[in-house]
């Protein structure tokens, strides 16, 4: 199932990130805690270089806690901190300011030595589509999402956003990368909604999801859809789920579109359970 989705504005965003990097003190990179590897744009490392970075594992309420802790240990480095957050409820976001201060401690000390007391840290927010960037910004911004005006060297359309946590954010549109190499990455992004459903066959996508869940989380799949047992064949399991949910049309045939929409919605909403599709 080949999936590639790289609209023209994403190439433009990549250029903007590179051009505006010199204007920020640090990077906040948001990933999906369920697919930590797949929701990392491989271009980000090259674009951001050695800039201090905070990786926010968003939707951590939907992932398996044990696996998420493994990811935190695996990703943490000298200039990279990793936090689990929920950008809808705001859980974990209060820790960000202290982590920014820690990462930029030397820079702050240099400024204070020059007599600069009021220090405002500027941070660029990056991430793939539908990973929670807008929710994050809305949660930490003031209610009006106040703009502080253009800075030197920034295009007229680029605005800085004040926040409740004492930093200014530069937002960037969500970007994927030109070629998604592995089918696993393609599917993980599609399962979680990072790629628009409209550009793919959602019935085939849902069948792939059933196949993945019956392999990694068979008990959760059975419990959610009240199945006494699972077949080895994903299509048979999808049929049984359809019958359990009454997605049956004329002559007892399964309404696969209805089953597909339901499966994807319930997975994305966490109704099937805490699921991590990748481990470090």
Binding residues for GTP: 58-61, 130-135, 174
3-state secondary structure of 129: coil
Nearest to 180 by CA among 39, 75, 34, 32: 39
Contact 178, 234 (CB under 8 A): no
Q: How many CB atoms lie within 10 A of CB 102?
A: 12
Half-sphere exposure of 211 (CA within 13 A, CB side): 13
* Binding residue positions: 58-61, 130-135, 174
Q: How far apart are CA 32 and CA 42, in angstroms?
A: 14
Q: How far apart are CA 191 and CA 185, in angstroms?
A: 10
3-state secondary structure of 11: helix
Half-sphere exposure of 60 (CA within 13 A, CB side): 25
CA distances from 141 to 3, 20, 131 (A): 34, 20, 18
Phi, psi (deg, nearest 5) at residue 147: -105, 140
Q: Take residue 14 and report the two structure tokens written for it.
A: 């990549």
Q: How far apart are CA 80 and CA 72, in angstroms?
A: 10
């Amino acid at each position: 199932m080949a999936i590639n989705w790289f609209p023209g504005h994403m190439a433009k965003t990549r250029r903007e990130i590179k051009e505006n990097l010199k204007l920020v003190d640090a990077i906040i990179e948001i990933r999906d805690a369920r697919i930590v590897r797949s929701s990392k744009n491989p271009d980000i490392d090259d674009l951001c270089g050695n800039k201090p970075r905070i990786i926010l594992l968003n939707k951590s309420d939907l992932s398996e806690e044990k696996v998420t802790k493994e990811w935190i240990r695996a990703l943490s480095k000298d200039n990279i901190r990793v936090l689990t957050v929920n950008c809808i409820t705001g859980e974990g976001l209060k820790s960000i300011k202290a982590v920014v201060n820690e990462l930029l401690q030397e820079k702050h000390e240099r400024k204070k030595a020059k007599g600069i007391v009021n220090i405002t840290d500027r941070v660029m927010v990056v991430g793939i589509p539908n990973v929670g960037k807008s929710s994050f910004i809305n949660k930490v911004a003031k209610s009006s999402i106040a703009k502080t005006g253009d800075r030197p060297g920034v295009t007229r359309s680029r605005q800085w956003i004040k926040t409740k946590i004492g930093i200014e954010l530069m937002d960037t549109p969500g970007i994927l990368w030109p070629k998604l190499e592995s089918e696993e990455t393609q599917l993980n992004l599609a399962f979680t909604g990072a790629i628009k459903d409209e550009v793919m066959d959602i019935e085939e996508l849902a069948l792939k999801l059933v196949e993945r869940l019956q392999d990694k989380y068979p008990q959760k799949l059975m419990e959610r859809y009240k199945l006494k047992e699972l077949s080895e064949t994903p299509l048979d399991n999808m049929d049984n789920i359809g019958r359990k949910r009454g997605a049956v049309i004329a002559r007892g045939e399964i309404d696969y579109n209805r089953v597909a929409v339901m499966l994807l919605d319930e997975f994305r909403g966490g109704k099937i359970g805490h699921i991590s599709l990748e481990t470090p």
